[in-house]
Amino acid sequence: MVRLYLVRHAQAAGAEPGARDHARPLDADGWDAASRIGRALAARRAAPALVLCSSAVRARETWEALAGELPPAALSVEAGLYLATPANLLERLAALAPEHEALLLVGHNPGLHQLACLLVGAGEAAALAALERGFPAGAAAALECEDGWVGIGPGRCRLNWLLLPEALV
């Protein structure tokens, strides 16, 4: 069994005229939300050994805020995760080595939300209902996949919980 934590980057600043989307940083609310999510992950004993993070500034800053609350983890910042499709994300996960029992992925919508919906075949009722409503900025989900990374696929994971930053104090 493997554990997968999906985290959508927290709220980013608006795009400056002529600036690239990739370079948008978190705004003050985003930093606060990411720190709250990090504390909530730590309270739930999330301890990923590996973090895959989009190369976008807002994703890297989200990880920076989370990392301050979690045990140390190996970090891989990957350009291919920026605005990745669910198929691209699933391919990346399926290629993971089996020794990575817990992974945290920091990415973007719509791909991250679509990936979560694709993978989840069972779960806690309230979390499933919340996932159907969306995956807002700063949200975090915990999935368990019985068949490891090689067996990850549609409907093969259980959603244990979904955290929304606005619901955390």
Q: Residue 166: what pLDDT?
A: 86
CA dist 126 and 145 (Å) reads: 19
User: Would you state the pLDDT for residue 15?
Assistant: 74
Q: What is the pTM of this model?
A: 0.96
Cα 122 to Cα 45, 87, 112, 118, distances in angstroms: 21, 20, 18, 11
Per-residue pLDDT, 30: 96
Contact 100, 49 (CB under 8 A): yes
Second CATH level (architecture) for the domain 2-11+20-167:
3-Layer(aba) Sandwich (3.40)
What local confidence, expressed as pLDDT, does residue 108 receive?
Answer: 98
Q: Tell me what pLDDT residue 124 has.
A: 87
> What's the CA gap between 68 and 81, in Å, rounded?
22
| pLDDT score of 167 | 87
User: Is the sign of the CA dihedral 36, 42, 48, 50 positive or negative?
Assistant: positive
| 101 token code pair | 């029992």
Low-confidence ranges of the chain (pLDDT < 70): 18, 169
